[in-house]
Chains A and B, each alone.
Chain A
């Protein structure tokens, strides 16, 4: 089949844009290109990625200023029409600010930036981002954030659970959902979330940092493989 088209959006302050580009292009072999936040064109992307980093320095609030970037208008239309959007870390924060996903991010519970490998349990394998994983499988993927403590009001959480929108939860090595494993203090140990339509995923952990075994884990590739599988089989 022909290669998929992945667009990686570059904001001022993005710093995982090159990493995501490298994994999609060199490791996964897909047609990958950058999208500049000031433009108004998604360049016919099949999947748009909002990469990690510190867009606008994370001043004011993580992702709050990026929301006003010109390209976000096209991104919202794309998402509403069912286009696949993956927000990683700062990208997840932007999706919350844009209202494409419900809830908000608070500072980590220990009030420190945290960078380390964590374990994630796949809660929902019926999404375009996890169809190559299996429910309850445990992935080892790193986090690196200051504001990853996911919060939403109880009624929203109820809704999210009822709709099967929780995709990843922080777990221990064995897949137990524990308080200790909940590194940043997120409600319900939420690490990754889809919208009701399942075409927009936000996740705090960085799958692009766990896509080559030389770097300690390639569990993150499951997410990229799933996206590719989604297109090849639909």
Chain B
């Protein structure tokens, strides 16, 4: 009998239970209830977010597949398609950082190759608590090892991503994994279960008890029972997944299957019901045939297991033998476990008895949707008000301190643990504004980036949402790429709290507005709610993954200074803004003020100027101004240059020196050109009415910045480079 306690354990409300009974016309047994609890979890059903997600633009000429499938697909020309998506694995990564992060990577990889695409790039957006706390260090170290352990073994390069540190992630780190794959656009596979009588095959790893209730876990807040949830985290086997990848691509290349779906969150439950639902068919499976790695598993456990590295295929009788031979070649199981039916029901038998018999539509499509209440959070009024901040006494030491902020400091300690070069397409190494991948034997190349500053979103979710899109596009512009498609991972707190719901709605509106301005479709992504531990919510953290095209790979650009004597230009305009900056947070310990404001049209024009200048071969370097402001941007240009040469800047803006140096005003890019190309660059900007200003020259051993003729920063490049380079490694040496 299903009682209140069981419902609670399954995270279902009584109302939801009543609806289940009504939909299936009977009291569900425990296995059936388990199936509903998974598929109606926030993680699988998007019941709190669906109504708002509809505001995002999802269409465009180049869209082959929008939201709703395993991944989004964009036509990139010459018969090729880019298949990409980002997904969170936050909760598992907190409970068991190594396996949580590793299986996050494994899951996103499967989402991509399930569609017939070979994954060519991974990126991760990571958010941790401050490294001064030992527990955060362990989480950081293990998450990064987990990502490395899985991605490296798979032979898919982790080419970039971002890492931020903030107290709000101490009890709730974020691990968002992005993957992009390439396939021929007429060879895409979908999760289909068509053709009555066709075989249903189970391929990949054997099923164990790991990960039972993973999706339900990801849909609730954490309390003190954290340790008990460890068995809910799946264990990854990247070697198995590598075999699965090669075998699946081989059967797809030979066109031997009808449909395929990976068993990610919600395992067999999700794959069977979604495949049947997509094709208006039914599926019948016999659990006695499922390869199992543990003894005595119940139907409930088999259906709800989230064991990794598994896929469900549908194939015609004639091709099954060849399919099985290919999997055998790669030492994998491929077992016939059932068949496609026409009755639109999921029927599951176990030891000769029917243990599940329910209509698939009820499970997949009839979860109640919620229009949850929203309310402006109380914190906003006090947090957005900024009392006067004193000016720093010594700009040199303030600047050096800012360079040691882990959010700003060099991330090579992270990236060198990832194989970022395998597949030999990585044309820009991690640390550039965006990652750039050449496509062998093609002139065009793919750029991609992840972005999301949660401090902005915390102080003004709508502006934060806009900036997340704008900054990602600005990063693409800095390498010379035109944005073509978006995936997003929306990390928020408990949506049952009206304040969180408000943050969510506002952020979506901001993202939607920016995507419309840049004419880029959102092709999918993931919502991660319930990022709360012990009642504390994270800052709202939308992470945007944007993919762009560089028309000619030989005409791309990188951030580092190239030659001594080049002229430094600012495209865009300095403004008197310090609210929400890393400077305020790290130097003055304040998460306050209005975040930088943004005019999306202006922003786009700045990108257009930068891209045009790169395509005309004028620029030697381009780097966007973001966390840490103009001063940090300039320093990074010097650090990333081949010879680590310095520069001298003369700034004349009539604004506070700290806002000028460290403020994070948007729509600004620092570029360098040869002196003879100055006029050509200025003309491009003037033609588009974009502000442009010559601010200095490269060369020398120091980074020297003068404001209104006064030298306020003068530091040897080598010294500040060491500060920036060593900040993160030093945290780990100290143990």
- Which residues of A are at the interface with B, using a C-beta cutoff of 8 A? 12-16, 18-19, 22-23, 26, 38, 52-54, 56-59, 112-116, 142, 144, 146, 206, 208-209, 211-212, 214-216
B553 touches A214 (CB 8 A): yes
19 contacts between A and B (CB under 8 A): A12-B242, A15-B155, A18-B423, A22-B424, A22-B440, A53-B155, A54-B152, A54-B153, A54-B238, A112-B145, A112-B417, A113-B417, A113-B419, A116-B416, A146-B152, A208-B424, A214-B438, A215-B427, A216-B429
- Complex: how many Å from CA A114 to CA B421? 11
List CB contacts (< 8 Å) of B15-70 with chain A. Answer: none
- Complex: how many Å from CA A197 to CA B553? 43
B441 touches A16 (CB 8 A): no
- Complex: how many Å from CA A131 to CA B329? 39
Does B168 count as interface, using CB distance less than 8 angstroms? no
CB distance from A151 to the nearest CB of B (A): 22
User: Given contacts A12-B239, A15-B154, A54-B239, is CB(A212)–CB(B421) below 8 Å?
Assistant: no
Does B322 count as interface, using CB distance less than 8 angstroms? no
Residues in A neighbouring B417, C-beta threshold 8 A: 112-115
Does B331 count as interface, using CB distance less than 8 angstroms? yes
Does B148 count as interface, using CB distance less than 8 angstroms? yes
Residues in B neighbouring A52, C-beta threshold 8 A: 422
Residues in B neighbouring A15, C-beta threshold 8 A: 153-155, 242, 422
Residues in B neighbouring A144, C-beta threshold 8 A: 152, 419, 421-422
B421 touches A142 (CB 8 A): yes
CB distance from B498 to the nearest CB of A (A): 44
CB distance from B352 to the nearest CB of A (A): 37
| Interface SS of B by simple majority | mixed
Residues in B neighbouring A206, C-beta threshold 8 A: 421
Closest 6 CB pairs of A and B: A15-B155, A57-B239, A54-B153, A144-B419, A19-B424, A115-B419
Residues in A neighbouring B421, C-beta threshold 8 A: 115, 142, 144, 206, 209, 215
Residue of B nearest to A18 (CB): B423
A26 touches B424 (CB 8 A): no
Most chain A CB within a 10 A radius of its CB, from B149, B239, B415, B441? B239
| Interface SS of A by simple majority | mixed
User: Given contacts A19-B424, A112-B417, A116-B416, is CB(A12)–CB(B155) below 8 Å?
Assistant: no
A-B contact count (CB 8 A): 90
Contact with A along B375-410 (1 / 0, CB 8 A): 000000000000000000000000000000000000
CB distance from A211 to the nearest CB of B (A): 8
B237 touches A212 (CB 8 A): no
Residue of B nearest to A212 (CB): B424
Interface size on B, residues (CB 8 A): 35
Contact with A along B414-440 (1 / 0, CB 8 A): 011111111110110100000000101
B239 touches A59 (CB 8 A): yes
User: Given contacts A54-B242, A115-B419, is CB(A215)–CB(B424) below 8 Å?
Assistant: yes
Residues in B neighbouring A142, C-beta threshold 8 A: 421
CB distance from B138 to the nearest CB of A (A): 14
A26 touches B441 (CB 8 A): yes
Partner of A57, one of B145, B237, B423, B440: B237
- Complex: how many Å from CA A22 to CA B416? 24
A58 touches B416 (CB 8 A): no
B239 touches A56 (CB 8 A): yes
Contact with A along B146-165 (1 / 0, CB 8 A): 00110011110000000000
- Complex: how many Å from CA A58 to CA B153? 8
Partner of B331, one of A12, A58, A116, A215: A12
- Complex: how many Å from CA A14 to CA B149? 15
CB distance from B123 to the nearest CB of A (A): 15
Residue of A nearest to B329 (CB): A38
CB distance from A111 to the nearest CB of B (A): 10
CB distance from B229 to the nearest CB of A (A): 27
A57 touches B153 (CB 8 A): yes
Most chain B CB within a 10 A radius of its CB, from A14, A114, A115, A146? A115
User: Given contacts A209-B421, A212-B424, A216-B429, is CB(A12)–CB(B330) below 8 Å?
Assistant: yes
B152 touches A113 (CB 8 A): yes
- Complex: how many Å from CA A58 to CA B239? 8
- Complex: how many Å from CA A16 to CA B243? 14
Residues in A neighbouring B149, C-beta threshold 8 A: 113
- Complex: how many Å from CA A19 to CA B155? 11
CB distance from A11 to the nearest CB of B (A): 11
Most chain A CB within a 10 A radius of its CB, from B330, B418, B421, B429? B421
CB distance from A233 to the nearest CB of B (A): 28
- Complex: how many Å from CA A159 to CA B237? 40
- Complex: how many Å from CA A54 to CA B554? 32
- Complex: how many Å from CA A208 to CA B152? 17
CB distance from B233 to the nearest CB of A (A): 20
- Complex: how many Å from CA A112 to CA B330? 29
Residues in B neighbouring A38, C-beta threshold 8 A: 329
Residue of B nearest to A59 (CB): B239
Residue of B nearest to A55 (CB): B239
- Complex: how many Å from CA A212 to CA B421? 13
- Complex: how many Å from CA A38 to CA B329? 9
Contact with A along B238-250 (1 / 0, CB 8 A): 1110110000000
Partner of B422, one of A19, A26, A59: A19
Residues in B neighbouring A22, C-beta threshold 8 A: 424, 440
- Complex: how many Å from CA A58 to CA B150? 12
- Complex: how many Å from CA A212 to CA B237? 33
B416 touches A114 (CB 8 A): yes
CB distance from B515 to the nearest CB of A (A): 31
Most chain A CB within a 10 A radius of its CB, from B149, B152, B415? B152
Residue of B nearest to A53 (CB): B155
CB distance from B85 to the nearest CB of A (A): 22
Residue of A nearest to B426 (CB): A215
